């Protein structure tokens, strides 16, 4: 399932970083479709209770286990934040059987189908399933809800779950926003994260440079096109949280004070996708549609 996508020896190339107090990231190389240097990243949040919340888990290596031990090893929550970021869910759920599993609707069915041909994809009971119908009423637990705001962007084709850790004002997300190239995630490989035609093309679209205009066009023309009002409602709620830091799964994290380049790049990208209409010019959208087509073929 993953041999062509992830490194054979992830410990050798993983970057473990204490981003801000309470937030640890595990950054690794990752090839989307076997060619595009996306990078991958898990986020560990040490909650005020001492519990650990893990988002988009990566390989559970000896080094990762040692880091968890240093943080208390009380993994209480494991989140697969969309329909794509679940590759290592089985390993983590097996290692921490009492952890509360969080995922969007559709993932259990997808994993059940994969299990028919790949027994490494085990049937993992999901404790909190976010659904479009009931997303406004869904709660995880009193402990979790005291520290996190969250939004289910069900209008996104990948069914994105986005979280904000309130004490550190850190946004944690998977595929809603990219910040390529994946410099940190490839920093221990000896590889240039920006080389390769497919990588250059995609990184030219999925970044936060300037006003992130091409990324906003991707959001408007591709990722929000099934339900633009619903998509915009979600991103406006996210933008209202007042986060300062952003941890994407793909590309570099941003740590900011809310007044500098972080807001100029990220808050603009979250604020009102309708601003990026191309006035009838659909040029540049073909690449974005191709990405979605490839995602569907992989699924």
Range of the domain at 263: 10-298
CATH number of the structural domain spanning residue 231? 3.60.15.10
Q: Average pLDDT, stretch 59-65?
A: 97
Of 22-26, 147-151, 187-191, 212-216, the poorest mean pLDDT is in 212-216
Domain contains 24: yes
- State yes or no: pLDDT of 193 exceeds 50: yes
Distances, alpha carbon 72 to alpha carbons 23, 53, 124, 289, in Å? 14, 12, 24, 44
Domain contains 3: no
Domain contains 4: no
Cα(133)–Cα(127) distance, integer angstroms:
17
Tokens of 96: 């921490």
Cα(131)–Cα(218) distance, integer angstroms:
24
pTM of the model: 0.84
- Amino acid 224: pLDDT: 77
Domain contains 37: yes
Domain contains 255: yes
Domains identified in the chain, total number: 1
> Strand, helix or coil at 103?
strand
Cα(88)–Cα(202) distance, integer angstroms:
25
129 DSSP β-pair partners: 103
Domain contains 179: yes
Domain contains 1: no
Instruction: Determine contact, residues 169/262, Cβ cutoff 8 Å.
Output: no
Instruction: Determine contact, residues 244/170, Cβ cutoff 8 Å.
Output: yes
> For residue range 102-148, what is the model confidence (pLDDT) as tens digits?
999 999 999 999 999 999 999 999 999 999 999 999 999 999 999 99
> For residue range 27-44, what is the model confidence (pLDDT) as tens digits?
998 877 666 787 899 999
Domain contains 2: no
């Amino acid at each position: 399932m993953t041999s062509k996508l992830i490194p054979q020896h992830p410990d050798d190339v993983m970057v473990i970083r204490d981003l801000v107090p309470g937030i640890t990231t595990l950054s690794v190389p990752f090839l989307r479709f076997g060619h595009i240097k996306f990078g991958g990243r898990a986020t560990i949040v040490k909650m005020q209770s001492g519990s650990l919340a893990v988002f988009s888990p990566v390989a559970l290596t000896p080094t990762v286990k040692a880091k968890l031990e240093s943080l208390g090893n009380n993994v209480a929550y494991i989140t697969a934040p969309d329909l794509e970021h679940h590759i290592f869910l089985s390993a983590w759920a097996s290692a921490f059987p009492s952890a509360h599993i969080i995922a969007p609707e559709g993932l259990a069915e997808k994993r059940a189908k994969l299990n028919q041909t790949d027994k490494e994809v085990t049937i993992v009971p999901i404790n909190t399933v976010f659904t479009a119908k009931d997303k406004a009423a869904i709660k995880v637990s009193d402990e979790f809800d005291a520290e996190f705001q969250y939004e289910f962007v069900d209008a996104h084709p990948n069914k994105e779950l986005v979280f904000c850790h309130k004490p550190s004002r850190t946004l944690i997300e998977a595929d809603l926003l990219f910040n390529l190239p994946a410099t940190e995630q490839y920093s221990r490989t000896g590889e240039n994260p920006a080389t390769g035609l497919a990588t250059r093309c995609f990184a030219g679209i999925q970044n936060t440079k300037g006003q992130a205009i091409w990324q906003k066009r991707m959001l408007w023309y591709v990722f929000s096109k099934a339900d633009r009002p619903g998509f915009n409602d979600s991103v406006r709620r996210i933008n209202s949280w007042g986060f300062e830091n952003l941890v994407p799964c793909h590309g570099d994290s941003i740590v900011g004070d809310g007044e500098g380049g972080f807001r100029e790049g990220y808050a603009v990208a979250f604020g009102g996708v309708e601003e990026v209409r191309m006035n009838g010019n659909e040029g540049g959208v073909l690449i974005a549609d191709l990405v979605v087509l490839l995602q569907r073929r992989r699924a």
